[in-house]
Structure 1
Amino acid sequence: MARPVTNSAFEGLLLAAGYGNAHAAFARQLNHAGRNEGAWRYDAASVYWWLRGRRPGEHVQAAMAKTLARKLGRSIAVTELGFGAADSIGICIYPASVNGAIDTAEQIWTRLAMHLNLSGVFDSGKAIEAALGWRYDLPDKTVSRNGRQQVTSTDVQSLYALADHFTDLDRRHGSGSPHTRAVMADFLVRQVAPMLHGTYTDAVGRDLMRAAATLSGQLAFMSYDAGEHAMAQHHVTLGLRLAKAADDRLYGAHLLANLATQAVFLGHARAAARLVEAAIDGAGRAPAAVVARLHATAATAYGQSGDRRACLVALSKAERALDRTDTDPGPRWVGYFSPAHLAGAALRSLGDLNLYTQAIRHAPEALELANQNTRTRALHTALVAMTHARAGDTDAACYWSGKLAPHSAGIRSARVRQRVRELVATLSPEQATPQVNEVLHALAVLLAAP
């Protein structure tokens, strides 16, 4: 039984342009109008769903307006199409189907490519809903598809290479520049979205979904680092659904842990704990490196929420797992997680519990990072300084604060700036001390830099 039309404005324009009973013809004209955007494959079914509430991306709407304008002999504003404002996109809604995930991907990638941020704030309720959907929804029976563009395994492998490139840029320089994220989103719109709409077998499709989840997850982390939290949450939610379609529970757990990390940063400790618990449960019998990473994230959530016992248990589990990584390393994407990353989590969580003596024991190892981890080095250096300050060791706090400027040079990161601001707030009560006053002046200069 056909669903009722909900977009009467779009229906009226189609009728006026002579496409009332020729939806396939309209779709063909639309595909032609959007040929510069990639291999569009819209058809009569696409028009059916647009009439019934599905919202195409802004670039598709622009092509629709031009197509209708040619037939009607007058200009058509995008607002006349009846799809509503851009912010009517279901923020952070976990897509129910693979097709829904593909459509959502195209929409939000297009917004980012056009430098249009998603308004709103981090929604912990929607984050929990996404976690439940990822953990308990039935797996997709198949993701094979018939479209215009043939997609091969070789095509998919090139996407992983691109993800590695952007991951390296992010770790070295931070994600504060909107240009980097826009370039990545533009590639996703022009290359990856047409691949998702293409022709592929179930096996290739699963790998394609995994690659798309990896790219979406990287874009999410970059948005989070830039302080664009609604955009970050939306991309993580999308990545979770794509990972579900890929049947990759480990990468899904990793993304959910990233969402928990974002929740900790924003002070949603209880939600963060629930998210990472779902990640640990969903990962099942995971490789040691994945287990270590997940329990380290759990420790930061428990530490912020004040659950001392749970925090110490999580740190212990992470340490034991990390000791087994030589024989059980796990997927490539978790290779970044090192003893220094675990030490940073211990430093943060134990400090939140006011266990400063125990926390400071982890400081030397937290700074033993690989050269490419420049942003993490800046974050950990600020954290070491702040922990010493909270413990009452002003001299050590000033010493490590003095190390921040060289470690932060060339990094654009909202998270680094936030941690520097926290350090300033911690040191400010001692600003009458000449040494502290000098450090505060240097930190102010650091925060004033573009």
Structure 2
Amino acid sequence: MARPVTNSAFEGLLFAAGYSNAHAAFARQLNHAGRNEGAWRYDAASVYWWLRGRRPGEHVQAAMAETLARKLGRPVAAAELGFGAVDSIEMCVYPESLDGAIDTAVQVWTRLAERINHHASGRFDGGKAREAALGWRYDLPDETVSRRGRQQITATDVQSLYVLADHFTDLDRRHGSGFPHTRAVMADFLVRQVAPMLHGTYTDTVGRDLMRAAATLTGQLAFMSYDAGDHATAQHHVALGLRLAKAAGDRLYGAHLLGNLATQAVFLGHAREAARLVEAALDGAGRAPAAVLARLHATAATAYGQTGERRACQTALAKAERAFSRTGTNHGPRWVAYFSPAHLAGTALRCLGDLHLHAQALRHAPEALGLASQNSRTRALHTALVAVTHARAGDTDAACNWALKLGQRVEGIRSVRVRQRVCELMITLKPQEASPQVNEVLHTLAAMPAAV
């Protein structure tokens, strides 16, 4: 049974222009009107979904208005089409088509660049997270991603995007993403540089690599939004990144993005949802490099640790350790190179602490703090975690000593995740606030920039 029409304004314009029973003809005229934007392939099915609530990009709406204006003999404003403003974009939806993913990505990048100080983020949506995982895992691959547009895109152009992605990743790890300017600069770069490339001319081979680079940048912006506490924006970018990774044919990066989404779900207390997401990631990753598997099994362990499933947690940790021991000189894709012995030790510290195995957890503390200099935020997170674990184990003196060290390690970092870990430490120490030592530490923690 056909779905009911929800966009009566668009339906009325099609009727007035003589396209009510000629949707394919309208789509052909639309493709012709948008020929400067690339090789559009809209058809009668596209019109069907537009009538039933799907929202095309701003440039597509402009071409629609132009097409209808020619038939009606009068100007047609895009606002008459009934699609609403950019703010009506449905958050966190996995786009069915690549064109839809590109259009939506450009819209949300523009919104983020223009409204960076507005936390428009809603809550994490587990249902849409599962839909994104299923779409990425089971939808048919794109036959081709070649396109004809205004500018020629070469392999060299695409390589420059990876260099810039590394730059933004480094900024994030050193300083956190709670500074609004960082995400604003990245979103502006995506609008000004990456969006025109996506609408350019490229072969299928170059196009696949371009989609991979765009997915990498989108995934980085997703992680930065998560670190800034903008959770629906983060989830929305993961969904877009998954669709771009699908177009690139890069199942490993898609699995990595699902792993990041699972990490976000754990942070927000949706541990069972996180476990499902990381299981989907492991299934989709297939015979992945050992470093990728180590990272995904470690993420699964954090989910199981939060739910208190001791056997599942310890099994996942053991799998992560075995996989990591097989990495050797093959560190896998560039985006997983960050996952070091210190990151794995930090996972063990956290998981075993969640299982109330504090003595076992603290055995991992020295290695968890052996991070490279650029990992400032992770060092702060792990330092706070060591302090929390000592406090929960009943060693207040050690907890206070590590809390004071934390004060030196949060300088220059702005991160909601670090702030949450500092707050967790304060809550754990508060029952001992009658102690002058603890009282002093609590005041020091309250004054930390990350705790503001």
TM-score in same-fold range (> 0.5):
yes
Give the C-alpha shift of residue 84 in structure 1. 2.5
Q: Which residue of 2 aligns with 1:431?
A: 433
Instruction: Kindly state the Cα deviation for residue 292 of structure 1 after the two structures are TM-superposed.
Output: 1.0
Distance change in 2, residues 1:183/1:123 (3 Å): same
Q: Which residue is 1:35 aligned to?
A: none
Select the residue among 358, 380, 383 that pairs with 1:381. 383
Name the Cα RMSD after superposition: 3.4
1: distance between equivalents of 2:129 and 2:41?
A: 34
Instruction: State which of 148, 157, 160 in structure 2 corresponds to 1:158.
Output: 160
**Deviations along 1:245-280, whole A, 9 cap, x unmatched?**
111111111111000000000000101111111111
Q: Deviations over 1:406-434 (max 9, x none)?
A: 10001110110011111111110110011
Q: Secondary structure at the match of 1:198?
A: coil
Match of 1:201 in 2: 203
Partner of 1:332: 334
Write the mapping of 1:171-250 to structure 2, written as runs, cut at 5 A: 171-250=173-252
AA partner of residue 111 (structure 2): R
Q: 1:65 to 1:180 in 2, by over 3 A?
A: farther
Q: What is the CA distance between 1:327 and its match in structure 2?
A: 3.4
Question: Are 2:349 and 2:364, in contact at CA under 8 Å, matched by a contact in 1?
Answer: yes
Identity percentage over the alignment? 75
- The one-letter code sitting in structure 1 at the alignment partner of 2:194 is V
**Conserved in 2, the CA contact under 8 Å of 1:58 and 1:111?**
no
Distance in 1 (CA, whole Å) between partners of 2:345 and 2:79 is 52
Counterpart in the other structure of 1:103: 103
In the TM superposition, what is the alpha-carbon distance from 1:6 to its structure 2 partner?
A: 5.6
Distance in 2 separating the partners of 1:448 and 1:341: 21
Alignment of 1:318-357 (within 5 A): 318-357=320-359
Report what 1:55 is aligned to: 55
Aligned counterparts of 1:445 and 1:113: Cα–Cα separation in 2: 31
1:293-317 deviations in Å (ceiling 9; x for gaps): 1111111011011111111111111
Deviations for 1:314-361, whole angstroms, at most 9, x for unmatched residues? 111111221222233211111110000001111111111111111111
2:94 matched to which residue of 1? 94
- Correspondent of 1:291 among 293, 299, 310: 293
Identify which range, 131-140 or 355-364, moves more after superposition.
131-140
Structure 1 range deviating more: 104-113 or 222-231: 104-113
Query: Whole-Å Cα distance in 2 between the matches of residues 181 and 15 of structure 1?
Result: 44
Q: What's the CA shift string for 1:176-199, capped at 9, x where partnerless?
A: 122211211112122212221222
Contact kept? 1:11, 1:51, Cα under 8 Å:
no
How much does 1:8 deviate? 4.6
Contact kept? 1:389, 1:426, Cα under 8 Å = yes
Q: Distance in 2 between matches of 1:41 and 1:316?
A: 50
Q: Which moved more, 1:333-342 or 1:142-151?
A: 142-151
Give the counterpart letter for 1:150 in structure 2: Q
Distance, in Å, in 1 between the alignment partners of 2:262 and 2:169 is: 19
**Paired positions, count:** 440
CA distance change for structure 1 residues 144 and 64 in 2, over 3 Å: closer, same or farther? closer
Is 1:446 aligned with 2:439? no
Runs of 5+ consecutive residues of structure 2 not aligned to the other structure: none
Quote the Cα distance in structure 2 between the aligned partners of 1:138 and 1:414.
37
For the Cα contact (< 8 Å) 2:414–2:449, is it kept in 1? no
Which AA in structure 1 matches 2:427? A
Q: How does 1:4-83 map to 2 (within 5 A)?
A: 7-9=7-9, 40=37, 49=47, 52=51, 53-56=53-56, 81-83=81-83
| Aligned residue number for residue 134 of structure 1 | 136
TM-score with structure 2 setting the length: 0.87
3-state secondary structure, aligned to 1:219: helix
